[in-house]
Structure 1
Amino acid sequence: MRAGLPYAAPGQVIGLLGGSFDPAHQGHVHITLEAMKRFGLDRVWWLVSPGNPLKPRGPAALERRLARARAMMRHPRVAVTDFEARAGTRYTAETIAALQATWPQARFVWLMGADNLAQFHRWKDWQEIMHSVPVGVLARPGDRVEARTAKAAQVFRHARLAPRASKLLGRLDAPHWCFVNVPMVDASSTRIRARGDWR
């Protein structure tokens, strides 16, 4: 295993859950466990980012967010990592390319909530992401119709996998994506910060 980096065996299907985790909460834990079950993942890595280019205000210190995430997510098949800070990547497409270069024999699946799918076309090189790894989308509280009619969903409608086949996602080549409805925990980093429980 590379020093300070998570373990990936050849052929393993690894879900990637990226974000600022500012702070990590039970909702992140819940969607991680649901993603493992629904998409047939061997492992999930939380990619705690140095910062989110789409957010004007910077997050709390990386070490603090990592410590909180590791305290929240205690599961033998889930790793919390600062890979983006180590690799010096800023955008998701760059991070995925760096991961694939570091672990060429692993199979990665990008995980996101339905809210992210709705604005996915604003991400830098979003079509490159879709062509690089399968994408698993988990419905969260809010408007699911908006996500299903999102630009990314329309452009890649030919590559959509039926929910009943969701466990095949990680074994398929990109571009493939799958939208699944799962029971959700209505937790929000924004609300936690607003309550003054963080920072």
Structure 2
Amino acid sequence: MPAATRTTDTRRVILDTAQRIMAHKGYSAVGINEVLAEAGVPKGSFYHYFASKDAFGEAMLKGYFADYLQEMDGVLAPSERSAADRLMAYWQRWRETQSIDECQGKCLAVKLGAEVADLSESMRLALKDGTGAVVDRIERTINGGLEDGSLSVDGEPREIAQALYDMWLGASVMAKIHRSLAPLDTATAVTRRLLHL
């Protein structure tokens, strides 16, 4: 295997391992040594792959959002289903991946958002860019629903998209606090009302 491929693979293993661990414990509670041990990478090699812990955190978030947006694009891609159906399938998938005890890396924005925004400017910007890209896709799907007549909104599509995303993030936090999916069920009902479904 060429050295460049090994480097890329090892870097990806470190990032994937960190994402999985930090989705459970948070950013500050996890040390680099814990990630490297779990990834099976020698302790001394961290700075070969990342200039600092901030650079590592930024890369982890960028990788998380790249994967998340790819999955999101798969759910929202134009198809024979209406835009409203595709958008509600996205929210249903969100609900399914927000298991109370085991989010398995699917909720990194929820888990780390407030924590790292105050710790690292580069990580805050990675979160801002990533969440902005999510809202862009929601807005596009709302616009598609307005065009195909499958939904309607009171207000600008961008504002509705942002409000929906904000509500679902908040509902995910509340679901963890209450150890109940009821906040996500409420978010589903409110989403249907906002989209006039």
- TM-score interval for Structure 1 and Structure 2 normalised by the shorter chain: under 0.3
Structure with larger Rg: 2
* Greater share of strand: 1
Greater relative CO, 1 or 2 (CA 8 Å, sep 6+): 1
TM-score, normalised with respect to structure 1 = 0.27
